[in-house]
């Protein structure tokens, strides 16, 4: 049986190849961690054709939707990886290979017993720091004030410095699917941008 995902292999990353390593180093590469159905990164890839975009998502169904969008929009600068973001960031990516990382609305896991499942922890932040090029930046957004506080506490344990400037790429996109839902529910969206020294 042929997998549905094989149809879109042009936009799917095979990180077991040597080419993957090489392809990152020379380009201006931007990562969207937990990209969901890909609205945010598809928009960025169409606005900035000279940059290279990678969406990381753990759910197969969502990756299929992302791949279809990249295929329909004929975006040669956009690829996706079906992988756990912590594994991808800490173990697969190479040091100093990424220019910018976005994490939009990671699952908040509000119940205390589930908080251990939160994606943005010290391990992920340290991994991202390592993989960013010098002066590379990370933008995180969440509707959860508790999660936001935890993220800021963990950022203080890293070497990142807070960057108060507005991110140009971020401000050129519209709201993501989840941000639209939060806005409809009158929820505040907390945002932080940090930079590698």
Ligand X SMILES: C[S@@+](CC[C@H](N)C(=O)[O-])C[C@H]1O[C@@H](n2cnc3c(N)ncnc32)[C@H](O)[C@@H]1O
Q: Which residues bind ligand X (CB under 6 A)?
A: 34-36, 56-59, 62, 84-86, 104-107, 119, 176-178
Active site residue 143: no
Strand extents, DSSP E, the chain: 29-33, 52-57, 78-82, 98-104, 132-142, 161-162, 190-195
Q: How far is the CB of 97 from ligand X (least distance, A)?
A: 18
- Asked if residues 34 and 104 have their Cβ atoms less than 8 Å apart, the reply is yes
CB of 127 to ligand X, least distance (A): 12
For ligand X, the closer of residues 8 and 175 by Cβ is 175
Give the full edge-to-edge strand order of the sheet including 132-142: 78-82, 52-57, 29-33, 98-104, 132-142, 190-195, 161-162
Catalytic residue among 14, 19, 107, 121: 107
Of the pair 2, 113, the CB lying nearest ligand X is at 113
Residue 134 CB, shortest distance to ligand X, in Å, is 26
Active site amino acids:
107
């Amino acid at each position: 049986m042929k997998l549905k995902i094989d149809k879109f292999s042009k936009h799917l990353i095979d990180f077991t190849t040597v080419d993957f390593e090489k392809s990152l180093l020379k380009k201006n590469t931007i990562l969207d961690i937990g990209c969901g159905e890909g609205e945010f990164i598809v928009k960025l890839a169409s606005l900035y054709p000279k940059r290279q975009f990678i969406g990381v998502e753990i759910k197969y169904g969502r990756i299929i939707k992302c791949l279809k969008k990249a295929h329909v929009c004929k975006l040669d600068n956009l690829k996706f990886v079906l992988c756990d973001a912590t594994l991808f960031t800490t173990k697969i990516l190479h040091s100093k290979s990424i220019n910018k990382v976005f994490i939009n609305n990671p699952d908040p896991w509000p119940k205390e017993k589930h908080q251990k499942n939160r994606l943005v922890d010290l391990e992920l932040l340290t991994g991202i720091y390592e993989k960013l090029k010098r002066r590379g930046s990370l933008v995180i957004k969440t509707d959860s004030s508790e999660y936001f506080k935890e993220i800021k506490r963990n950022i203080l344990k890293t070497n990142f410095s807070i960057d108060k400037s507005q991110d140009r790429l971020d401000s050129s996109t519209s709201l993501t699917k989840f941000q639209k839902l939060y806005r409809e529910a009158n929820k505040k969206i907390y945002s932080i941008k940090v930079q590698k020294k």
